[in-house]
Amino acid sequence: MGGAAVYIINIGLSYKKTPIKLREKLVINDQKLTEMNQRLNREKSIFENVIISTCNRTEVYAIADQLHTGRYYLKRFFSDVFALELAELEPYLVVREEREAVQHAFAVICGLDSMVIGETQILGQFKKSFLNAQTAGTTGTMFDHLFMEMIRFAKAVHTKYRINDQSASLSNVALQQAKETLGPLENKKLFVLGAGEMAELVIKNAKNFLVTDITIFNRTPQRAERLRNIANCPLTIHPLADFFIHLNEAEIIVSALGIETPFITKKRLADNLSNRKSSLFLADLGVPRTIDLHCKSLPLVILRDVDDLYHQIEHNQNLRKELAQQIAKEINEATDAFYRWQTQLGIVPVIKKIRQKTLLAEETAMASLANKMPDLSDKERKIIRKHMKSIVNQALRTPIKEIKEIAVQEDAQEQIEFVKRLFGLADGGNNHDENNQSRDKSKQTGAHSNKTGPYSDPTTV
């Protein structure tokens, strides 16, 4: 918001530079999110805020009256909430301001900043976090508009580019290749060998391909029972020893066994496929391989191993990156649109003039005090200035919030003119403030660039 009187700040940490042993300490669960949003919003420099907390990131988006005070309170919030020294957190915290913060938010909600580029889960998490903050009363005109626009934008991007269709997991790619080979999987019978984590991912991804006929084979069928909870269709469960008895029923076989020698050999497969009329797709997710490589030489058998699947994943990741670059261009345009909206509000110049006027009043009062009480020490003057700033900030907090709210109402212009008259900003007031603009701007710039210590009080700057 270059030169404006309110600023957007983002501060947080993510999987990119924060180890999981620290990330797992820095998660705010849903039950505490409302309380934490309200706690942060009580800080005198924070006007609006939204907290995003997932397994891969914990971030705060805030609107503050000044950059340096905003940074100070947001860092202190992280330190206090998670009971960690700032020195321990600071190497991992990333601070973004103004346009960079807005662009980052757009990138996050679109999945461009995720471990898997373009994943859609973050959109739901982002929306849920925003609605929590909105209900908690910690958003206002700016963030209500920005976050709703980001949600709309992300939905449109996913619909337009379908970036999540470019699979980036072994289990998903295996099913995608089965679909490309055999056609739609709705009426195909899927066999899954194993009941571990990889098998679980196969079951979960099968939902996306509308698979409704799944049979699991596992050495201990009881262990496979838990997978019924994640399937979107009834599961049939058999002991692994019965696999070849049922083999000819399958059209797709995905092996997620954790064994060191092939379970499906060419001979055993050939012996059980002698009368087969249709293609059989096999995907081996195991390392070491659990399906003999030579099985692919059999008629009607299509076999994909881990290397085959990773080649497809690499190709898909490159496609995702290309799509991400196209989306990044649209994010720039969406960011431009947000700032145009903000400028059109007419709110920024008004708040800025109010700030300039109060700043001039502070300087005048301090100069008068210096003349009348020349014996004051530097320490005493700093204390007086600190408390004077605190009083002014507290006095302006509610009026500024209200000004931002009326700025988007139907009679906004009329109400803004009233506010300008109320604060003596119209006509002569405008000229007077403009004459002092360069002086006030240089002072504000100095304050914003001043580097305070992690726990030094920013009001003393």
**Which element (helix H / strand E) includes 438?**
helix 437-449
- Residue 255 marked as a ligand binder: no
Closest CA to 108 of 15, 225, 30: 15
196 marked among binding-site residues:
yes
Ligand-binding site membership of 54 (annotated):
yes
Q: Rg of the chain's alpha carbons, rounded to an integer? A: 30
Is 197 part of any known ligand binding site? yes
Distance (Å, whole) CA 171 – CA 206: 9
| Active site (annotated) includes residue 55 | yes
Whether residue 56 is annotated as binding a ligand: the answer is: yes
Residue 198, marked binder: yes
Query: Residue 114 annotated as binding?
Result: yes
Interatomic CA distance for residues 413 and 407, integer angstroms: 7
Q: Is 195 part of any known ligand binding site?
A: yes
119 is in an annotated binding site: yes
437 among annotated binding-site residues: no
How far is it, in rounded angstroms, from Cα 422 to Cα 148?
A: 32
Cα distances from 442 to residues 65, 97, 134, 314, 439, in angstroms, run: 17, 19, 36, 51, 5
Query: Catalytic pick from 55, 110, 233, 295?
Result: 55
For residues 213 and 236, what is the distance between their CA atoms, to the nearest angstrom?
Answer: 8
8 A C-beta contact, residue 68 and residue 452: yes
Residue 199 known to bind ligand: yes
The residue type of 323 is: L
Listing from the earlier edge strand, what are the strands of the sheet with 252-255? 235-239, 214-218, 190-193, 252-255, 280-284, 301-304
Residues with a catalytic annotation lie at: 55
Q: Binding site residues for NADP(+), as ranges?
A: 194-199
Numbered residues of the known binding site for substrate: 54-57, 114, 119-121, 125
Query: Which residues make up each annotated binding site?
Result: 54-57, 114, 119-121, 125, 194-199
